[in-house]
Amino acid sequence: MNRKSFMFFIFACLVTSAALAQAPVTGKAVRYCNPLPMVIGQGGNASGDVTVIKDNGKYYMFCTGGGAWISSDMVNWTFQRVANVPVAPDIVKYNGSYYMCGNDGPLYKADNPLGPYTSLGPWKNTPGIKEGWNGPFDMKIFIDDDNKPYLYFPGRGISGIYVVQLDPTDLTKFAGPVKHLFAFNSEHVWERYGEMNEYTDVAWVEGPWLLKRNGIYYLEYSASGTQWKTYAEGYYTSKSPMGPFTYAPDNPLLLKTDGLVTGTAHGSIVEGPDGNFWQFYTIVLSNPPGGRRIGMDRIVFNKNGNMSVKVTDTPQWAPGVVTDPAKGNSGSIPVTINKIRAMNALSKFSSEQPGHDAAYAVDNSSGTWWEPAPTDSLPTLTVELSPATRFDMVQLFTIDGVRLMFNGGRRGFGRPAAGAAQTPPPVADVYQYRIDVSMDGKTFTPALDQTGNNISRNTIFEEIAPVKCRFVRLTMTSWPKTSPLGIIEYTIFGKPAESLPSEQPIPGR
C-alpha cells in the first residue's frame, strides 16, 4: 500500500468511526411516534386543523378544540388554555403583534402568542363581499419578505382556493380584489370525495397554508373532505404570492389510508430546531363520529425544489437527532399486530365485551377497540410475540417502545358552533398502566411502570428500555370512569432477536 492509499484508508476509517460514534441509540436518543401524544387540558383538545408557529425559539401549536401547546423541541409539549381560539385557527406575527383568525369569525389581536386575544371586529372594506363579512373558514394569513400581508382561504365545496392582499395598516381590510387561484380538478383523483375517491364531481377543497423557500411559494391545500380516510394534502407552486400557481408533479404530498395514521391533511409547515422543515397534519380516525389526532413528519426537497413527505406510524428520530432526513426511521417496527387470534394459543386477556373483542386492540385499525367487561377492575392483555403454532421456530424480540390509543377524547371533531363558548372537558383523560415481559408466559418482570401517571392524554407513546422477551403483558390500573375503558390500539415496538428451536417436533422430520 503506497502512502496515498494509506492516507485515504486512514481518512475513511476516521470518517466511519465518527459516523458510528454519532449514530443514535434506541433507548437513549429521543424519538417521536404518530399520532403524537398531546396533552389534553381543561379547555383544549388537539383535534386537528393544526397550526404551528415558531417564535423566539419556542413552538406554539393551535388546533380545533381550543387551547395552545408550547414546546422547545417539537416533541415535548405543555398545554396552556387560551381564550377565543376558533375552529381551524391560524396564528401569525405581524409588526410585533399576533393575529388569530378562524372559521366564520373576526380577526383577533394580542401582544403575546398565548394571548389574551381581543376581537378587532368584523372584516371590513371587502370588495365583492358584503359589508360586515365574518370571514370564511380555514383562513391563512401570510406575511411576505417585504412585509406585505396576504389572506388565503377556500370557497365552499369544489370552489378551490382564493387570495387577497390585506391592508398593511388594518388586516381586517382588503387592499385589492379577491383572486381565484385554482378549483377542484376531477383529474386529480385524490381530490375526489369518498373512501375510494368515487365521487367524480364532488370534493371539499380547504385548509390552505403557504410556505416561501428559495423564492418559491408553496401553497398547500386539503381534499377530499375531513370525514374520509382519503383526506389528503397537495400543493401548487408559484413565483408570486398572487400566482399564477402550478400544480406540483408529485402530488399528493400526504396520503395514507391504512393503519392508525390515516386521513393526513389540513396542517402547517414550520422550520424545526434542526433547520429542516416539518409538516404537521390532521389524522382522521376510522370510526364515526370520528375522533382526530395530530401527526408530524419531515419534509424533503429534491434538486428541483419539489417537496415530499413520508407519512410515518412507527418511532422516528426526533428533530436534530439525525442530519439526513432519509435516516429518520429508528428501525423499530410493530410486533404485536394480530397476535391475539385463536392460533396464538398463549395470548390471552382478562375479559371482553361483545363487539369489542380483545383482538381489536392489536388489529392496527382506529375503527375498532377492545372494551373489557364493566366488572373487570384490572384488565390485562398478554400477547405472545412468537409464531402461532408449537411447530414453528420460537421467535424472540427486543422491544423498545409502546403506543396506546384510547377512546377517551373521541368527542367528534371538537367543533363548537360559531360564537359558542368552548366548554372544558369535565374529567381529565388520565390513564395508568403497567407493561411486564416474560420468556415463558409464567414469570413476568416489569418493563414500564406508568401506574403513577397523572398526565392527561388519549394517545400515549413511551420508550421502554430495550429488553428481550417472548411475552408482553399490559395491565390497566386506572382510567376515567365516566365511560367504559376502550383501547383502540396497543402497539409494542421492537426488533427481531434470535430464534429458538420449535417446542414440538414436526411429524416426519
Judged against a pLDDT cut of 70, whether residue 107 lies above it is answered with yes
Residue 14 lies in a domain: no
Higher pLDDT among residues 59 and 505, named by residue: 59
Helix, strand or coil, per DSSP, at residue 109: strand
Same domain flag for 424 and 326: no
Residue 20 lies in a domain: no
Contacts of 114 (CB under 8 A, 6+ apart): 60, 68, 70, 80, 82
Domain boundary among 312, 330, 348: 330
Same domain flag for 295 and 384: no
Instruction: Write down the pLDDT at residue 104.
Output: 76
Residue 55 lies in a domain: yes
Kindly state the helix (H) or strand (E) to which residue 473 belongs, with its residue range: strand 471-478
Higher pLDDT among residues 40 and 425, named by residue: 40
Domain boundary among 315, 330, 345: 330
Determine how many CB atoms are found less than 10 A away from the CB of residue 28.
Answer: 9
Mean pLDDT of 407-423: 46
Which tens digits make up the pLDDT trace of 421-464? Answer: 444 444 468 999 999 999 999 999 999 999 999 999 999 999 99
Higher pLDDT among residues 388 and 300, named by residue: 300
Q: What is the mean pLDDT of the chain?
A: 88
Same domain flag for 313 and 363: no
Domain boundary among 296, 330, 364: 330
CATH number of the domain within which 428 lies: 2.60.120.260
Confidence of residue 128 (pLDDT cuts 50, 70, 90): low
Same domain flag for 347 and 257: no
Residue 80 lies in a domain: yes
Cell output for 328: 429518520
The answer, yes or no, to whether the previous bond of 35 is cis (omega within 30 of 0) is yes
Instruction: Write down the pLDDT at residue 503.
Output: 67
Judged against a pLDDT cut of 70, whether residue 301 lies above it is answered with yes
Mean pLDDT of 466-471: 96
Task: State which amino acid sits at residue 471.
Answer: F
Same domain flag for 353 and 235: no
Mean pLDDT of 27-56: 90
Mean pLDDT of 107-116: 96
CA distances to 155, 203, 222, 227 from 158, in Å: 8, 5, 11, 16
Kindly state the helix (H) or strand (E) to which residue 3 belongs, with its residue range: helix 3-22
Cell 368584523 belongs to: 122
Cell 429542516 belongs to: 276
Same domain flag for 362 and 467: yes
CATH number of the domain within which 270 lies: 2.115.10.20
Containing structural domain, residue 390? 334-500
Which tens digits make up the pLDDT trace of 315-328? Answer: 999 999 998 776 77
If phi > 0 it is left, if psi is from -120 to 50 it is alpha, else beta; for residue 327 that is: alpha
Instruction: Write down the pLDDT at residue 499.
Output: 86
Instruction: Write down the pLDDT at residue 232.
Output: 98
Determine how many CB atoms are found less than 10 A away from the CB of residue 191.
Answer: 27
Residue 18 lies in a domain: no
- Of 405, 365, 402, 386, nearest to 491 by C-alpha is 402
Helix, strand or coil, per DSSP, at residue 337: coil
Q: How many domains does the chain have?
A: 2
- Of 192, 199, 269, nearest to 225 by C-alpha is 192
Judged against a pLDDT cut of 50, whether residue 90 lies above it is answered with yes
Judged against a pLDDT cut of 60, whether residue 63 lies above it is answered with yes
Judged against a pLDDT cut of 90, whether residue 482 lies above it is answered with no
The answer, yes or no, to whether the previous bond of 499 is cis (omega within 30 of 0) is no
Mean pLDDT of 255-282: 96
Same domain flag for 232 and 379: no
Cβ(421)–Cβ(393) below 8 Å: no
Cβ(74)–Cβ(319) below 8 Å: yes
Mean pLDDT of 160-186: 95
Same domain flag for 492 and 475: yes
Same domain flag for 290 and 348: no
Judged against a pLDDT cut of 50, whether residue 109 lies above it is answered with yes
Instruction: Write down the pLDDT at residue 501.
Output: 83
Same domain flag for 150 and 285: yes
Mean pLDDT of 242-267: 97
Instruction: Write down the pLDDT at residue 414.
Output: 40
Confidence of residue 20 (pLDDT cuts 50, 70, 90): very low
Residue 258 lies in a domain: yes
Judged against a pLDDT cut of 70, whether residue 218 lies above it is answered with yes
Same domain flag for 78 and 181: yes
Residue 4 lies in a domain: no
Mean pLDDT of 280-288: 87
Same domain flag for 297 and 357: no
Say what percent of the chain tops pLDDT 90: 73
